[in-house]
Structure 1
Amino acid sequence: MTVAVTGASGQLGRLVVESLLREGVQPVAIVRDPAKVADLAERGVDVRQASYDDPAALDRALEGVDRVLLISGNEFGKRVAQHTNVIRAAERAGVELLAYASIPNAERNPLILAQEHIGTEAVLDAATVPNVRLRNSWYWENYTNGLAHTVEAGVKYGSAREGRVAGAARADYAEAAAKVLTTDGHAGQVYELGGDRLTYVELAQAISDAAGKPVRYQDVPQADYAAALENAGLDANYAAVLADADAGIAEGILDVDSGDLEKLLGRPATPAVEVFRAALN
């Protein structure tokens, strides 16, 4: 069985490749720039070059592939068309299973981040390639940027009110994807994936526990949070996306209680405190 991972040089993609290697599978790593995964090639990984904008290169990259994980691109505004190129190439290649890394509650998810995932899932609905949706919730790593400053200030800001976010370590989502790619019975399935369900008060406590210093949560209006993120140096559009995500968390849109992640992993998801402790160390 030949298993390919698109976007294999990215943070999630590389972790999926590592998980596949641990499963005893020698994966195909599809990347735009092979130089970024030279270390994987040295370990025997089959590195193939293709961008999501190049159907001919995607055809070459998926030649002989049985199963493929489509990890979403990072060019906002272009992603549905790019993902469609991968889906069509998978159809032409006769791929037996395409797994797509999506977002929770895609049928009703209003987040800015969700819209291109929703568009991609619509393409998959009409596609001929058998597929499975891996609807990953938030990464705990999303909270590690500026974590040292948060600990120093003793305050975690946000606009999630009392909503819960079902996060997990990025490596957990990667391991779950590898399980799906290397076992049978997943075609047609939709997995809503998330780990521990924390309010931001509990999230601040996890940061506090990891740091050994008191950290509290301070809720602020969405617009003020976006402005604060922008003042901290984030791009205005990205700041708006993050503040919008917090507003979605307030409404429960990233609160996943399916248990699907734990079932796929065969173990509990990694606690947030472990991810924060590793980041601080």
Structure 2
Amino acid sequence: MTDFANSPLLVTGASGNLGRLAVEELLARGATRIIAGTRDPSKLSDLAAKGVDIRKVDFNDPASLPAAFAGVERLLIVSTDGIGTRVAQQTAAVDAAKAAGVKHIVYTSAPAARPDADAGLNPEHFWTEIAIAASGLDFTILRNHMYAENNLTDLPQAVASGQLFGLIGDRGTSYVTRADAARAAAGALLLAQGKTLEDVTGPAPVTNLERAAITSELTGKPVAVIPLTPADLKAGMVAAGLPEGFAEALLAFQRDAVTGHHGVVTNVVERYSGRKPQAFADFLAANRAALQG
């Protein structure tokens, strides 16, 4: 593969969890012209001290983006947290990248991105993918599967209650750590060519039964899986205080686990990072204390 380590490489959202990890990976791999984009440059003073060029990049200010992207050859767009607005934000970024002469876009998307009305947050990723493809630029779409870190939100509750709720027929989720996803994104920025769409996954799908068993073993507390229908699961989430829209988005992820969309396994992490992705059980073991709530 061609190595673009000496090309101008820009990472957006660089003050966020994934973006910062991607910049640090680029530094570790010897990239010489790293640009970190953020809405608040003051948050990246430590990276500036390491020779990273810090630029203000605000997707909510499209007129500023061509200048922010000036001189950039390869661009990593880390999907924003602007649910409901990020299609407009990210499409503006794609348009600005093309206008600025960017040659290759890497985008962090989601598994099974599609326009279906019941696909949760996936339509936003799908329409961003369409905008990137329509730009005529080379691209690498990285469909990041569910982050392993998300388990540190619901599993402590399961440990406390002894119950893990999920949909009937769960076929597993190939959880990937945020660090592995960031390393893959950095690797794609350094190495990828052409036009590709790839799933970024952990090493194996993990079912709710397996999640419960691993959690129980690590904590010494019994955790039983309670399989529910979609209507009952959503009702339970709303009754627990989740906004209906957020509950529907979480339900969409679980529906995709039932249909098998989340059980895909690829070698993308290893191919772009040179390291095998961390196994789910190893991730939980490393975060055992967090499971106790």
TM-score by shorter chain over 0.5: yes
Kindly provide the amino acid, as one letter, of the partner of residue 173 in structure 2: V
Kindly provide the amino acid, as one letter, of the partner of residue 44 in structure 1: G
| 1:33 has 2:40 as partner | yes
Report the number of matched residues. Answer: 280
Equivalent residues of 2:205, 2:262 under 8 A apart: no
SS at match of 1:197: coil
What is residue 156 of structure 1 aligned with on the other side? 164
Q: What is the aligned counterpart of 1:51 among 58, 65, 69?
A: 58
What is residue 173 of structure 1 aligned with on the other side? 181
SS at match of 2:108: strand
Describe the shift of the 1:146–1:202 C-alpha distance in structure 2 as closer, same or farther (beyond 3 A).
Answer: closer
| 1:220 has 2:228 as partner | yes
TM-score by length of 1: 0.90
| 1:86 has 2:89 as partner | no
What is residue 27 of structure 2 aligned with on the other side? 21
| 1:244 has 2:264 as partner | no
Describe the shift of the 1:193–1:80 C-alpha distance in structure 2 as closer, same or farther (beyond 3 A).
Answer: same
What is residue 104 of structure 1 aligned with on the other side? 111
Shift of 1:48: 1.0
What is residue 273 of structure 2 aligned with on the other side? 265
Kindly provide the amino acid, as one letter, of the partner of residue 229 in structure 1: M
Describe the shift of the 1:38–1:238 C-alpha distance in structure 2 as closer, same or farther (beyond 3 A).
Answer: farther
Shift of 1:31: 1.0
Q: What is the aligned counterpart of 1:135 among 138, 143, 148?
A: 143
SS at match of 2:31: coil
| 1:188 has 2:202 as partner | no
SS at match of 1:75: coil
SS at match of 2:141: strand
Distance 1:34 1:117 in 2: 26
Q: What is the aligned counterpart of 2:209 among 190, 193, 201?
A: 201
Gaps of 5+ in 2: 1-6
Kindly provide the amino acid, as one letter, of the partner of residue 68 in structure 1: L
Gaps of 5+ in 1: none
1:208-243 Cα deviation digits (max 9, x unpaired): 333343323221222332333334443332122112
Distance 1:53 1:108 in 2: 23
Shift of 1:262: 3.3
Equivalent residues of 2:168, 2:229 under 8 A apart: no
TM-score by length of 2: 0.87
Equivalent residues of 2:138, 2:193 under 8 A apart: no
Distance 1:215 1:100 in 2: 37
What is residue 8 of structure 2 aligned with on the other side? 2
Distance 2:115 2:87 in 1: 18
Kindly provide the amino acid, as one letter, of the partner of residue 24 in structure 2: E
Kindly provide the amino acid, as one letter, of the partner of residue 266 in structure 2: S
Shift of 1:114: 0.7
1:95-137 Cα deviation digits (max 9, x unpaired): 1211011122335876211101111111122112211111111
Equivalent residues of 1:69, 1:98 under 8 A apart: yes
Distance 1:191 1:105 in 2: 11
Describe the shift of the 1:36–1:147 C-alpha distance in structure 2 as closer, same or farther (beyond 3 A).
Answer: farther
1:142-175 Cα deviation digits (max 9, x unpaired): 1211432322222222226332211111111100
User: What is the root-mean-square deviation of aligned Cα atoms in Å?
Assistant: 2.1
Distance 1:187 1:160 in 2: 40
Describe the shift of the 1:80–1:217 C-alpha distance in structure 2 as closer, same or farther (beyond 3 A).
Answer: same
SS at match of 1:101: strand
Distance 2:240 2:53 in 1: 41
